[in-house]
């Protein structure tokens, strides 16, 4: 199977390189090399997914994030995938439903829906990921909320949007209680605006 996929990738790569060769541009060799490197990188990552994680770590380091933050961010990615897999398994199919459940979880946990959270962080560009602008503490709490929601779904054997939404609200409220206790201890809000972390 892997050998067949590699042969298929090589054929697609040769077709793409042929197309680039037909382009009338002096930079075609640079473009060809860049695409070849990207294709090779993706093939290596499909054979060894850990390489993709290492690449993500490098990219976050280049952006100035600490290793501690990167570890929490990557654990958060895992928790998010676990939760969305539960949603898919339990009948969620539409992107709007994923967004609505996510929004409900964030709203219940932090008192801000995703749009207001983004505005508070001054994120106007849709390509800016909210989680990339969260503090260590915010990331840990989102991971807790998502992990709790997934566990509630399994424990209650929830299915359908209404039951999943109820679980998500409950998970968010559990985390909201934790947020409140942390804020009392710290003497400040857990949710920090951009630049104040």
Exposure class string for 1-12: b at 16+ Cβ within 10 A, else e: eeeeeeeeeeee
Residue 1 has pLDDT above 50, yes or no: no
Average pLDDT over residues 98-121: 96
**What's the pLDDT score for residue 147?**
97
Question: In the structure, what pLDDT confidence band is assigned to residue 92 with cuts at 50, 70 and 90?
Answer: very high
Question: In the structure, what pLDDT confidence band is assigned to residue 196 with cuts at 50, 70 and 90?
Answer: low
For a pLDDT cut of 70, what percent of the chain falls above it? Answer: 89
82: left (phi > 0), else alpha (psi -120 to 50), else beta?
alpha
- Round to whole Å and give the CA distance between 196 and 24: 49
| Chain Cα centroid distance, residue 142 | 11
Residue 32 has pLDDT above 80, yes or no: no
Residue 52 has pLDDT above 90, yes or no: no
Question: In the structure, what pLDDT confidence band is assigned to residue 9 with cuts at 50, 70 and 90?
Answer: low
Residue 48 has pLDDT above 80, yes or no: no
Q: Among residues 112, 108, 133, which one has the least CA distance to residue 193?
A: 133
Helices 67-89/50-62 angle, 10° precision: 130
Residue bearing the bigger pLDDT, 10 or 1: 10
Residue bearing the bigger pLDDT, 52 or 149: 149
Helices 28-47/50-62 angle, 10° precision: 130
The single residue listed with the structure tokens 């993500």 is 56
Residue 30 has pLDDT above 80, yes or no: no
- Is the pTM for the entire model greater than 0.85? no
For a pLDDT cut of 90, what percent of the chain falls above it? Answer: 65
Question: In the structure, what pLDDT confidence band is assigned to residue 118 with cuts at 50, 70 and 90?
Answer: very high
Q: What is the mean pLDDT of the chain?
A: 87
Q: Among residues 53, 55, 46, 64, which one has the least CA distance to residue 4?
A: 46
Residue bearing the bigger pLDDT, 63 or 25: 63
Residue bearing the bigger pLDDT, 25 or 170: 170
């Amino acid at each position: 199977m892997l050998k067949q996929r590699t042969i298929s990738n090589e054929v697609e790569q040769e077709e793409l390189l042929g197309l680039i060769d037909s382009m009338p541009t002096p930079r075609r060799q640079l473009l060809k090399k860049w695409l070849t490197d990207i294709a090779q990188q993706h093939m290596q990552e499909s054979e060894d997914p850990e390489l993709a994680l290492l690449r993500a770590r490098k990219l976050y380091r280049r952006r100035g994030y600490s290793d501690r933050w990167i570890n929490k961010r990557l654990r958060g990615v895992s928790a998010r995938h676990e939760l969305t897999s539960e949603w898919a398994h339990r009948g969620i199919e539409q992107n709007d439903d994923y967004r609505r459940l996510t929004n409900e979880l964030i709203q219940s946990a932090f008192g801000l829906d995703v749009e207001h959270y983004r505005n508070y962080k001054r994120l106007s560009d849709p390509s800016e990921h909210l989680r990339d602008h969260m503090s260590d503490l915010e990331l840990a709490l989102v991971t807790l909320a998502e992990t709790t929601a997934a566990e509630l779904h399994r424990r209650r054997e929830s299915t359908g949007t209404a039951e999943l939404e109820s679980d998500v609200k409950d998970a968010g409220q559990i985390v909201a209680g934790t947020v409140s206790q942390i804020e009392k201890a710290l003497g400040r809000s857990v949710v920090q605006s951009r630049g104040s972390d």
